[in-house]
Chain A
Amino acid sequence: MVLGQVHATRHKWENVESTPLPKDIPEVDEVGATSAPLLAASFYIGEKCKPYNDDFMLCKQEFNGGTLDCLKEGRRVTRCAISVLKDINKYCFDEFKLNYECLEQNNQSLGRCRASEGVLSKCIFDNLKLKKQIPGVEAQIHEKKNPIYASSSKDARNVAEFLKTKEVAAAQTD
């Protein structure tokens, strides 16, 4: 190895923003959920945050996709999504995990995980009063009793096991 190459390639790297935002733009926490949990929570986020999301999209439309003009609306969208995720984690942590782990095993296709999705949606409806509604379709596919492409059998098995352990835990506390 040539000495010059070592000096050329090995440099210290720090995770620092070299061009920070101006002071007049307030800080906002970023959404920390990764793709599968976000997909599992997406319809509930959409349900709760519809006004903020619509506002943001209208702003983008009005300012011709303006990035700088819609920062305030964008912060509201981010904060609202974080609030929904916090609520889901507070009330339905295990159900949420069950569903997104199934999604992660099945190429994140919702149709393969209907069993755990049912458990999650029931928990979320009981605690947060949010209901999944796919907009602009004739039939709500997740509410069909006999869909053509059925849930994966592994998901159904995991859900049965989950419900059983939950029942046992509930019986022990009583």
Chain B
Amino acid sequence: MPVPFEGLMPYAIMAAFFGLAGHGVQFIRYWDNGWKNDRWNLDAWDKRMMKRDFLLTGIKRGQSQEPVAPEHFKTADTIEQQYYSANRGQSFVLRDRLWRGYVFGDWDWS
């Protein structure tokens, strides 16, 4: 006996909402990056360069191909501020590890 389609409707609704949530978050991240994909698996060099990019362009993920830096770049600096959180870096463990490079095998167990 085939299953009547009415029986599958809840599953369709569930799948649709999971899809909406996932793709929605992905879209917001993409938009927040200035219509660019996330950076991942970043090392100290990459992070340092991203800080430098911000000082040069003033935009998160901004890029510039100007050969000579603007004058203010010579003295520019950023001050980082963050608030206390009890579980910083402990939720979203898989994403955290992906970003830190553990998933793609760049870890150092020594």
Query: Could you list which residues of chain A lie within 8 angstroms of chain B, going by C-beta atoms?
Result: 15-17, 29-38, 82-83, 85-86, 89, 93, 96-97, 100-101, 104-108
Given the complex, which residues of A lie within 8 Å of B53, measured CB to CB?
34-35
Given the complex, which residues of A lie within 8 Å of B67, measured CB to CB?
31-33, 82-83, 85-86, 89
Query: Of A29, A97, A107, which is within 8 A of B68 by CB?
Result: A29
- Pair count A-B, CB < 8 A: 75
Is there a chain A Cβ closer than 8 Å to B63's Cβ? yes
Given the complex, which residues of B lie within 8 Å of A107, measured CB to CB?
37-41
Q: Is A104 in contact with B64, judged by CB distance below 8 angstroms?
A: no
- By CB atoms of chain B within 10 A, which of A34, A97, A105, A106 has the most? A34
A interface secondary structure, majority: helix
Knowing A35-B63, A37-B63, A89-B65, say if A30 contacts B73 (CB, 8 Å). yes
Q: Is A104 in contact with B73, judged by CB distance below 8 angstroms?
A: no
Given the complex, which residues of B lie within 8 Å of A97, measured CB to CB?
65
Q: Is B65 in contact with A16, judged by CB distance below 8 angstroms?
A: no
Given the complex, which residues of A lie within 8 Å of B49, measured CB to CB?
34-35, 38
Interface size, B (range): 20 to 34
Q: Is A33 in contact with B39, judged by CB distance below 8 angstroms?
A: no
Q: Is B64 in contact with A37, judged by CB distance below 8 angstroms?
A: yes
Given the complex, which residues of B lie within 8 Å of A38, measured CB to CB?
49
Q: Is B56 in contact with A34, judged by CB distance below 8 angstroms?
A: yes
Q: Is B63 in contact with A30, judged by CB distance below 8 angstroms?
A: no
Bound Cα distance from A108 to B47, whole angstroms: 13
Q: Is B40 in contact with A34, judged by CB distance below 8 angstroms?
A: no
Given the complex, which residues of B lie within 8 Å of A33, measured CB to CB?
64-67
Given the complex, which residues of A lie within 8 Å of B61, measured CB to CB?
104
Is there a chain A Cβ closer than 8 Å to B76's Cβ? yes
Bound Cα distance from A104 to B49, whole angstroms: 13
Is there a chain A Cβ closer than 8 Å to B36's Cβ? yes
Q: Is B37 in contact with A105, judged by CB distance below 8 angstroms?
A: yes
- By CB atoms of chain B within 10 A, which of A29, A32, A93, A105 has the most? A32
Interface residue ranges of B57-71 to A (CB < 8 Å): 57, 61-70
Q: Is A104 in contact with B36, judged by CB distance below 8 angstroms?
A: yes
Given the complex, which residues of B lie within 8 Å of A101, measured CB to CB?
63
Q: B79: nearest residue on chain A (CB-CB)?
A: A13
A152 to chain B, nearest CB (A): 10
Bound Cα distance from A29 to B49, whole angstroms: 18
